[in-house]
Structure formats: structure tokens, C-alpha cells
A and B are shown apart, each in its own frame.
Chain A
């Protein structure tokens, strides 16, 4: 069964450093997403991406965040200057659009900011 692959599985970074989280979505999907889950809290939407541009973003997704699909297969989330409160599990997902389709999520990257 096709999978969404995320790397690394765990990243530790110092506050103020830049991090890039990587994802390989399912190859024939057209819509890509990042979600995050702070420990013990709900899964929260960050951003959706289609046709090489952001289609929707949440209030969490401020100027410190950016997304890119640099080569037609990878989908990345960059956090420019990490804060302690950015510590969370970050999940990538992909889908074919339309309410009919389900999402496929990756297994996540645990980001720890120290």
C-alpha cells in the first residue's frame, strides 16, 4: 500500500535554528498538507499546498514557516527560527482533492527545540 514517508523521525534543534522537515507524498496525489500535534493536544492544521502554491494556511503558519515542493517528489516544511513552542509532532499528508477522498498521513517527525 502506498505510503507517505517523513524524515527524519526525530530532530533535536537549538532555539533560533532553522529546521527543514521532509516528506515524500504518494506519487499520484495532488494535494499536500502539514499538520502538527503538540504533546497531549489535538492535531492542528498548518497548511495545504496545491499546484505549487499554498491554498490555505492557519494562524499558526506565520512568517517563520514556509513550504516548498522543490523537485516534484519532496514536500518540505521549513521553520526559520525555531522557538520552544514549536516542539511537536509534525505530520505530512497527501490526498486527491474532493470530499470523497481520504488523506494519507505520514508517521511524523518529532521536533524537539531546546
Chain B
């Protein structure tokens, strides 16, 4: 499986933007970059995904480097409800099949 590297933890102030980085230097051409988050005592929740171009949805934006070896999840205005563990996961059609391989993610704390 192509691996991702994320900081263990980050902090943000409420109502400020948050940039969560992810490195994936061994990404293959067919791998999509997916982001999930897990709020305390809940199941993982899909946030956003992309292949090459930057993506926006109602939850977040995803900025993908031109060489695709890194990406950044952007929360435009952090709220207390955004405190969670954020996972950057590569999902492709290679030998790893369809499963998601979760790492340890980035634990985001949001200060009021």
C-alpha cells in the first residue's frame, strides 16, 4: 500500500482556518487521495477526495500538489465540532484492492 505521513497532532483556534498536511511521496498515478475524520466515539466520516485538481465541498477544500506527492485538507473556519482525528488515505485499484488503510491520522484540537 502507498503510505501517507501526517503530523500526530495540531491545534487551531475556533473560527480560524486550518491546514492539515499529508505527504504521500509513493502515490501511484491511479490513487485517489481521500480524507476521512473520526469524531470522538463515532465512526469514520468521509470528508473529501481528489485525484489531481483541487476540490471543494461543503465540509472542506483539498489542495493537491502538482506532483501529487502531498496534499492539504483545508477547513476554512474551524468550529469546536471539527475537533477529530483526520485521516489522509490513498485509495487505488492496485493490489491493495478496495479497502481503506487507516494510519494514526492527525488529532485536531480546536480552542474556543
Contact = CB atoms under 8 A, between A and B. Distances in A.
Interface of A: 31, 33, 35, 42-45, 48, 55-56, 58, 89, 91, 93, 95, 97, 99-100, 102-108
Nearest to A6: B43
24 contacts: A31-B98, A42-B103, A42-B104, A43-B44, A43-B87, A43-B100, A45-B100, A48-B97, A55-B98, A56-B98, A56-B99, A89-B43, A91-B43, A99-B30, A99-B51, A99-B91, A99-B92, A103-B44, A103-B46, A104-B46, A105-B44, A105-B45, A106-B43, A108-B42
Nearest to B42: A107
Question: Chain B contact residues: over half helix, strand or loop, or mixed?
Answer: loop
B93 A99 contact: yes
Interface residues of B, number: 25
Interface of B: 30-32, 34, 36, 38, 42-46, 49, 51, 87, 91-93, 97-104
Contacts of B30: 99
